[in-house]
Amino acid sequence: MTKTKKIREPLIHLVKRDDLPGWKAWGIRALSIVGAFVFICLLSFIVLKRSPFQIVKFMFEGAFGSKLSTLVLFRDLSILLIISLAVTPAFKMKFWNIGAEGQVLISAWGAVLCMYYLGGKIPNGALIFIMLLSSMTFGILWAVIPAIFKAKWGTNETLFTLMMNYIAIQIVLGSTKIWAGVTSTGVLHPLQYGHLPQVAGGDYALSMIVAAVITLLLFFYMRFSKHGYELSVVGESRNTARYIGISVPKVIVRTLVLSGAICAVAGFLLAGGIMHTVGSGTVGGQGFTAVLVSWLAQFNPIAMIVVSFVVIFISKGTTRVMENCGIANSFFSQVLTGTLFFIIIACEFFIRYRVLPRKRHKAVAPREDLDDDSVEVVEDFAEPDIVIEEPLSEADDDKQETRDEDVEHSQEETVC
């Protein structure tokens, strides 16, 4: 009895796939998005007692219901896209920067700092230029401090960048309390000076143009430039990078300067072009959403446009569904958003692994000696398969060999 149990083959086993063509993978992703939509419509139907078609109608109404909602949708998409682009080069390098929230917030604060103290005292053009410089300084500073620590002393960049977020939030809370007056509620009202020029008659188009330009630039930077190649080598294997003469610390710092600078652009646009003030909710968690966008898009800047569109569409859409159904809280819309991303992320699993059911040995292998063997082999094979890949910590790593090398050297490897 126990013997048969021991050699029992698992019901399913997982095999990593390396051979899935790109178009197929993107096809699965597209299908999963559609499937997720269908699922959340059904979920809404069960909970809200509205027909799925009505739910879809409400969603489109929330996103594209009027010229205003469409403009707001694309403006918000642009900001999210810029932040997602900002974190991407670092991720490609396997530098887990989760501090985009703080980097954007502190750059917005840097711009407001100038608006508050210099507003009305110098010409608007000069003010905007100084705001941009200030945003850049703070944005880059917030990204590069963890990078230097990582490059010099090998500190954990995830924790470091996370903590930098809280420092930024406290700086913003403290200073707005002073600027707004101690006896107020600490909310700084919009400032009159340092507004970015309106493009096409509103506060909307500027962010879209900037986002489009940055997307293209970053796409070419990552794909065709020497820098882009270097950072992906550092991401794949630091030893390889060292071997071919790339200075790893230099690449880390350089890439994070870029990340910080792009975050600063987002912060600058938020402060000067959209909010005209700053508060702890100015970035609204988009720095963290950007991590999701960057990952789901597989670090591909062009794909990020689609993913950030899905994110913003869902958020605007579900909000309108709740509004039209007379539900005065955001719990269910959050459940819907969460469900949707759960399904989309779950599909990544099926892109990376093949799920094989247990073989029917009796039918396939009549020869007893071979049969036993194959059971053994499969079991050996199945074990590491379940354990090997940790999709969350290993990026788009397809080269088994390189990674094995990495594992071998990982103990002696310290970044210097």
Partner 1 sequence: MKKKVLALVLAIVVVAALCIGLVACNDGAIKFNETFMPEWDEEYATLEVPADFKFGLICLHGESSNYDKNFIESARKAFRELGLPESNLIIKTDIKENEECTTAARELVQQGCDIIFADSFGHEPYMSKVAAEAGNENIKFCHATGTTAHNPDAPANLYNAFASIYEGRYLAGIVAGMKLNQMIAAGKFKAEDAKIGYVGAFPYAEVKSGYTSFFLGARSVCPTVTMEVQFTSSWFDKLSEKSTAQALITRGCKLISQHADSDGAPNACEEAGVPNVSYNGSMIQSCSKTFLVSSRIDWAPYFKYVIAQTVNNKEIEKDWVGTIETGSVALTNLNADTVAPGTLQAVLKARAELVKGTRYVFDCSTFTVTGKNFDEAKMKVDAQGHLTSYKADVNTDAAFTPDTEAIEKVGDKYIFMESDAEGRRSAPYFDITIDGITLLN
Assess 11 for contact with partner 1 (CB under 8 A): no
Assess 4 for contact with partner 1 (CB under 8 A): no
Q: Considering the complex, what minimum distance in angstroms separates the CB of residue 107 from partner 1? A: 16
CB neighbours of residue 283 within 10 Å? 32
Nearer to partner 1, 234 or 321 (CB): 321
| CB-based contacts of 189, cutoff 8 Å, min separation 6 | 180, 277
Q: Which stretch binds partner 1 (CB under 8 A): 141-149, 320-328, 345-353, 375-383?
A: 320-328
Q: Is 93 helix (H, G, I), strand (E, B) or coil?
A: coil
Assess 181 for contact with partner 1 (CB under 8 A): yes
CB 127 within 8 A of CB 119: yes
Nearer to partner 1, 327 or 365 (CB): 327
Rounded Cα distance between 282 and 301, Å, is 24
Nearer to partner 1, 187 or 302 (CB): 187
Q: Which stretch binds partner 1 (CB under 8 A): 35-43, 92-100, 124-132, 175-183?
A: 175-183
State the distance between the two ends of the chain, measured CA to CA, in whole angstroms: 56
Q: Which stretch binds partner 1 (CB under 8 A): 86-94, 110-118, 277-285, 363-371?
A: 277-285
Rounded Cα distance between 337 and 367, Å, is 53
Rule CB under 8 A: which of 47-76 touch partner 1?
65-66, 68-69, 72
Assess 326 for contact with partner 1 (CB under 8 A): yes
Nearer to partner 1, 203 or 230 (CB): 203
Of positions 2, 4, 185, 414, contacts partner 1 by CB under 8 A: 185
Interface mask toward partner 1 for 190-229; x: CB under 8 A: x---------------------------------------
Rounded Cα distance between 414 and 341, Å, is 36
Assess 328 for contact with partner 1 (CB under 8 A): yes
Phi, psi torsion values for 258, nearest 5 degrees:
-60, -50
Nearer to partner 1, 87 or 274 (CB): 274
Q: Which stretch binds partner 1 (CB under 8 A): 50-58, 246-254, 321-329, 378-386?
A: 321-329
Evaluate the CA torsion angle 104, 105, 107, 108 in order and state its sign.
Answer: positive
Rounded Cα distance between 51 and 42, Å, is 8
Candidates 282, 278, 269; CA nearest to 132 is: 269
CB 208 within 8 A of CB 263: no
Nearer to partner 1, 191 or 382 (CB): 191
Distances (CA, A) of 48 to 63, 334, 338: 20, 14, 17
Phi, psi torsion values for 397, nearest 5 degrees:
-80, 110
Q: Considering the complex, what minimum distance in angstroms separates the CB of residue 205 from partner 1? A: 16
Where does this chain bind partner 1 (CB under 8 A)?
65-66, 68-69, 72, 173, 177, 181-187, 189-190, 274-277, 279, 281-282, 284, 322-323, 326, 328-331
